[in-house]
Structure 1
Amino acid sequence: MNPSAHCYAMAEAFEGRYLAAYRCPAGKLTIGMGHTGVDVKPGMTITNAEADRLLRVDMQSAALSVSKLVRVPLSQNMFDALCDFAFNLGRAALAGSTLLRKLNDGDYSGAAAEFAKWNKAHVNGVLVELDGLTKRRHAEAELFKAAA
């Protein structure tokens, strides 16, 4: 499966579009629509086209992770929700999650309920609930539960 246009739009809606590098609430140097990594440098700027390219590359990486980790059938909506989750939190978070364990056990409703637990980030060394993450996890869970 591949992420749908809806998946990309969801990521952009939650990440925003930033053509100059900034620090996200968790302190990570970020650019574009949630792109992080060693290639992001302070003072860096990119074009809209580069922001789009980075999102495509990052989302395809998330999709590959989802495809490798999930062992049960998924609807497009489920796949998109999981791609956004893995894009935002990383492969390791999904790989070690109760969400994935429940999903691979065939407990789709139990997996959907797990999204809400991932609404915290370390801010200044303290784990805090972030409103933006709460909204994002809710949107992912609703998409995951929606009929395809």
Structure 2
Amino acid sequence: MSFTVGDVIAERTVHLTRESLVRYAGASGDFNPIHYRDDVAAVVGLPGVLAHGMLTMGVASSVVVAALDPAARILDYGVRFTKPVVVDPQDGADVHVLATAGAVDDEAARIDLKVTFGETTVLVKAQLRVAI
């Protein structure tokens, strides 16, 4: 597996629905009602029901993992959460992930992720390192 700085590794838009949030809550055990109840989200001042941050983070990494060789080893992965993904009850939410090679050395490649919801960047410093 070889990478060149600037290469697009993967790009995909992932559609989230309220059902996605319920399924993730069941898998993760995170049943905070801001992830499925509009009334609770409103009471705490949120713009609507939010996708779980770890779901957003997992979606972003899965786009990259799907594009890599199955034997690839992820060395580390980190993000900073900046804005929430509001999941509309009817329309859901589209999370767009663009993964590019940001740095390459003899041991690893750093893959930079641009993760957006609409025109808003929802994860910053989203980077994973892959062993070469």
Structure with higher strand content: 2
TM-score where L is the length of structure 1: 0.27
Q: Please, what TM-score do these two structures have when normalized by structure 2?
A: 0.29
Higher helix share: 1
Q: Based on CA coordinates, which of the two structures has the bigger radius of gyration?
A: 2
Structure number with the bigger relative contact order (C-alpha 8 A, sep ≥ 6) is 2
